[in-house]
Amino acid sequence: MTRVSTIIPAYNAEAFLRETLDSALAQTHDEQEIIVVDDGSTDATCEIAESFGNRVKLIRQQNAGPAAARNRGAREASGEWLAFLDADDLWMPDKISTQLERANETGAPLIYTDRENIGVCDHVSRYQSDCVELAEGELYEKLLCGNFITLSSVLIRKDVFESEGGFNEDLSLKAVEDWEFWLRIASSHAVAVCPEPLVQYRFHETGISRNLNTMETNLFNALDVAFDSKRGQQLDATTRRKARASAWGVLGWSAASTNPRSAVRYFTRAWLNDPCNLWRVKQVVKSALGRA
């Protein structure tokens, strides 16, 4: 049976870690190792992980960020496949088995899934697929226009993860390091999707995505990395502008409920980069009226 290593980076994760580990241990796929990488927590994260005994492997490290924690777990993983699960998200019991079946069908080295949104999520649809196309195959240019691959939904072959260098640990990419990595994968590999919502993704009131200045800087840092890559250098000017427009649009959406003035600015920048897109004009107007 195919061995899968599940990697859970955890920083002060005591509130949700036990439930997350229960969902990982409930998988119908039996050949699984579960690795919790404690990233310098100061709460009861380690004690919770240790309470699961030998069912969970605990690795401790000084705080270095989630990308470094995931890479540490990957280096110590013994599985042929790697699965990533954030310490506050949950899996459906057949998540891994369904993805392995899809991998056998498609030969793709990375398989992601639909998700159900939980937590403080009144501002979003229940399922990601309600508002986002979950595409598969050759995805590079689609991914440039927005990250629709949920990190906790990904199953990836370990050899491909290693050959592509893992997650970029530069903190200038914090919170978007997953997007930057999916772009690297998609530049040379096909990607497959399981349309079932096999992950529950938890929204919080706070988080780096709510820090608009940091998010703005890091989003465009990730785009710069992509544009400087071998594949990115082949992109035409129109595709680059659309990618930048989408990044401004993401910022506008993030700001809409709490900072309408910033939302207007972000949506205006999106429209200026993609002036033929009438939907962007509507977003400028709606955000100006406080309805975005």
Per-residue pLDDT of the chain (292 residues; tens, 9 = 90+): 799 999 999 999 999 999 999 999 999 999 999 999 999 999 999 999 999 999 999 999 999 999 999 999 999 999 999 999 999 999 999 999 999 999 999 999 999 999 999 988 877 899 999 999 999 999 999 999 999 999 999 999 999 999 999 999 999 999 999 999 999 999 999 999 999 999 999 998 755 445 888 999 999 999 999 999 999 999 999 999 999 999 999 999 888 877 888 888 999 999 999 988 877 777 777 666 665 5
Please check whether residues 157 and 170 belong to one and the same domain. Answer: yes
Residue 253's pLDDT is 86
At residue 290, the pLDDT reads 64
**Domain with 197 in it: what CATH number?**
3.90.550.10
pLDDT reported for residue 287: 67
Q: List residues bridging with 91 in a β-sheet.
A: 199
Q: Of 141, 176, 207, which residue is a domain's last?
A: 207
187, 207, 227 - which closes a domain: 207
Instruction: State the SS3 of 41-92.
Output: CCCCHHHHHHCCHHHCEEEEECCCCHHHHHHHHHHCCCCCEEEECCCCCEEC
Q: End of a domain among 152, 174, 207?
A: 207
pLDDT score recorded for residue 208: 43
Residues 139, 23, single domain; the answer is: yes
Q: What is the pLDDT of residue 26?
A: 98
State which residues form the domain around 263.
209-288
Q: Are residues 201 and 213 in the same domain?
A: no
H or E element: which one contains 185?
Answer: helix 177-186
Number of structural domains, the chain? 2
Question: What is the separation of C-alpha 219 from the centre of its chain, rounded to a whole number of angstroms?
Answer: 13
Do 228 and 198 belong together in one domain?
no
CB 111 within 8 A of CB 102: yes
- Decide: 22 and 48 in contact? Cβ < 8 Å: no
pTM: 0.93
pLDDT in the model for residue 233:
97
If asked whether residues 245 and 283 sit together in one domain, one would say: yes
Q: Can you read off the two tokens belonging to residue 167?
A: 């997650």
Res 292: pLDDT: 53
CA distance 82 to 20: 17
